[in-house]
A and B are shown apart, each in its own frame.
Chain A
Amino acid sequence: MTAQVYDRPFCRLAGDKGFLVEFGDGIDPRVNAQVRALARAMEKNLPPGILEVIPTYRSLLFIYDPDLMDPDRLYKLVENLDDGREDLDAEVVKVVEIPVCYGGEFGPDIGNVQAVSGLTQAQVIQVHTAPEYLIYMVGFTPGFAFLGGLDERLNTPRLNTPRMVVPKGSVGIANNQTGMYPIASPGGWQIIGRTPLNLFAPEKKDPFFYRAGDKIKFVPISESEYDRLAKKETR
């Protein structure tokens, strides 16, 4: 992860309502911090005509109303904010603990990760639960977090044949990435465990557990603890 941070943000057009701003040429915590700083600054004081601000790894998309905003004015806004972005970086980082029951029926592919890494199941769990993973972005499905910081020893290729349905709550590995499935969806990740937490609850006022910039810490739990927490979640 040695991406370059651009001296000035680079802008691209995305149709008649979209304006994309890039901060660097790859996936890097410093580039990503700048993306989030601009998103926070914009959201704090949303200029009229900006309908949506969508931060990702190294770029940020503005959706605007052409009646009230145009790219030239938007670029000036970004540049002005950008000059002072060091000051904007007072980010409140939450560390979110996610309990995971590893192996067994919840983690049918943990054996594959053991085979590739040469580690025992206990070691895989120990290595996977050690870091605090940075959430670079959320996307793909509701609440799906793209995490950085997986230990190289756990780097395992995707399944040869993706599953039609990966159960909700599954925790998996794909190459150098690790992540959670907040809703059931098709997928080819190596599934090593499952969390009993309801990671996406659309009916709640705040449907999400975390957002980009937060950190995830996996905590190993037993099957009986899983059952207890799962019951609590459905109440």
Chain B
Amino acid sequence: MPAFEVLAPGGFTTVQDKGRFGFQQMGVPVCGVLDTFACDTANLLVGNDSNRAVLEITVMGPSLKFLSSMDIAVTGAKMDITLNDQPTEQWRSIRVKPGDVLTISQVQAGCRACLAVTGGIKVPPVMGSFSTYVGGGFGGFMGRPLKAGDILDAHGGDLLARERVVPEELVPDYPSHVLLRAVPGPQDDFFDQGATTLFTTQYMVTPKADRMGYRLQGEKIPIKQGMPKSIVSEPSMPGGIQIPADEQPIILLVEQTVGGYAKIATVISTDIPKVAQATPGDTISFESIDLKTAHQIYHDEKKKMAKILACM
């Protein structure tokens, strides 16, 4: 069924799901939403399972005119939203009818918001996923960010019997300084003093921050004496903290497949959404944790999701 017409596309709005898996060995990056917590929660709020396609909205929100009755929800970065010029709220389900206009404005905190609709956004699956890979020009809606005039479909389905809200204490805030937990490796043996520098000083997010990776700026992280400056190209993992020739760290994200620089540590999967919500000028500290702790955090995060589900 027709879902909405794009009146204004916003800064960079793409259709994404949880990612395109199984093709990284063929050079196809995973893609998918960066803030998986926001995506899962938005889908839950409208009664979807968690792998339905959503809109990922970056910095400046779109304006959409709805074409059918459905439930929608906006989660993630804090943005002012209005429905037919009346202020409305994020982190809750909103019933819309044909002709209603939703306008999402400039971000106030964070960087990326998610918008889910009943049944999920309907686009043709490409290699098993609805995610847009803009660099490759495929997936999502015509392989590109949305433009004014685009009309998107939704799968539709049963509307909610009663509205759903995420309890306030479970809504993340998006401070301008974030602490990221990271497990040393894969190439922590390439560094000595550099590791101390990474885990004790602050880094600033530069304007070169997108879905491929976040370039940071701060104290240099040199590779230790006697180690090569690059490595044999190997697969990239979202969260990998790569140290290139200029010795300034880059946090790799979901549109990378291989790389030839040493990675000093890897941000845990639970904290990738925090990277996704950082904007240029924000500051980042890193905390070194061991794998056991990282897995405990992973399990705790799943419990948090179960708690949100129970609230609905």
| Chain A contacts to B: CB under 8 angstroms | 12-18, 20, 26-27, 39, 51-61, 63, 66-67, 70-71, 137-144, 146, 182-183, 185, 202-203, 207-208, 211-212
Whether A202 contacts B295 by the Cβ 8 Å rule is no
Whether A15 contacts B25 by the Cβ 8 Å rule is no
25 contacts between A and B (CB under 8 A): A12-B185, A13-B186, A14-B266, A15-B185, A15-B240, A15-B268, A15-B294, A16-B270, A18-B186, A18-B266, A53-B25, A55-B25, A56-B235, A60-B235, A61-B235, A63-B237, A66-B295, A71-B291, A137-B258, A141-B135, A142-B27, A142-B28, A142-B136, A185-B135, A203-B126
Whether A139 contacts B27 by the Cβ 8 Å rule is yes
The answer to whether the Cβ of B257 comes within 8 Å of any Cβ in the partner chain is yes
Considering the complex, which residues of chain B in the window 164-204 have a beta carbon less than 8 Å from any beta carbon of chain A? 182-187
Q: Which of B23, B232, B268 contacts A58 (CB 8 A)?
A: B232
Whether B127 contacts A20 by the Cβ 8 Å rule is no
Q: Which of A20, A66, A142, A183 contacts B234 (CB 8 A)?
A: A20
- Given the known interface contacts A66-B299, A140-B258, A141-B135, the answer about A52 and B27 at a Cβ–Cβ threshold of 8 Å is no
Whether B25 contacts A13 by the Cβ 8 Å rule is no
A-B contacts, CB under 8 A, total: 128
- Given the known interface contacts A26-B232, A144-B27, the answer about A15 and B127 at a Cβ–Cβ threshold of 8 Å is no
- Binary A-proximity of B60-97 (CB < 8 A = 1, otherwise 0): 00000000000000000000000000000000000000
The answer to whether the Cβ of B217 comes within 8 Å of any Cβ in the partner chain is no
How far apart are the CA atoms of A9 and B107 in the complex, in Å? 48
Whether A20 contacts B233 by the Cβ 8 Å rule is no
With CB as the reference atom, state the residue of chain B lying closest to A24: B232
Whether B239 contacts A15 by the Cβ 8 Å rule is yes
Q: Which of B126, B137, B184, B302 contacts A13 (CB 8 A)?
A: B184
How far apart are the CA atoms of A171 and B192 in the complex, in Å? 41
How far apart are the CA atoms of A213 and B139 in the complex, in Å? 28
Task: With both chains docked as a complex, state the minimum distance between the C-beta of B258 and any C-beta of chain A, in angstroms.
Answer: 4
How far apart are the CA atoms of A18 and B139 in the complex, in Å? 25
Q: Point out which of B26, B184, B240 has the most chain A C-beta atoms below 10 A from its C-beta.
A: B26
Whether B240 contacts A139 by the Cβ 8 Å rule is no
How far apart are the CA atoms of A211 and B23 in the complex, in Å? 11
How far apart are the CA atoms of A113 and B29 in the complex, in Å? 32
Whether A16 contacts B295 by the Cβ 8 Å rule is yes
- Binary A-proximity of B288-305 (CB < 8 A = 1, otherwise 0): 000100110111001000
With CB as the reference atom, state the residue of chain B lying closest to A12: B186
Whether A67 contacts B299 by the Cβ 8 Å rule is yes
Whether A61 contacts B137 by the Cβ 8 Å rule is no
Residues of A within 8 A of B127 (CB): 202, 207
Considering the complex, which residues of chain B in the window 269-312 have a beta carbon less than 8 Å from any beta carbon of chain A? 269-270, 291, 294-295, 297-299, 302
Whether B269 contacts A16 by the Cβ 8 Å rule is yes
Whether A66 contacts B298 by the Cβ 8 Å rule is yes
- Given the known interface contacts A66-B295, A66-B299, A139-B258, the answer about A51 and B234 at a Cβ–Cβ threshold of 8 Å is no
Task: With both chains docked as a complex, state the minimum distance between the C-beta of A211 and any C-beta of chain B, in angstroms.
Answer: 7
How far apart are the CA atoms of A185 and B212 in the complex, in Å? 15
Which 7 A/B pairs are nearest by Cβ-Cβ distance?
A: A15-B266, A139-B258, A12-B186, A61-B235, A16-B294, A13-B185, A54-B235
Q: Point out which of B186, B233, B235, B257 has the most chain A C-beta atoms below 10 A from its C-beta.
A: B235
- Given the known interface contacts A26-B232, A52-B24, A139-B27, the answer about A14 and B263 at a Cβ–Cβ threshold of 8 Å is yes
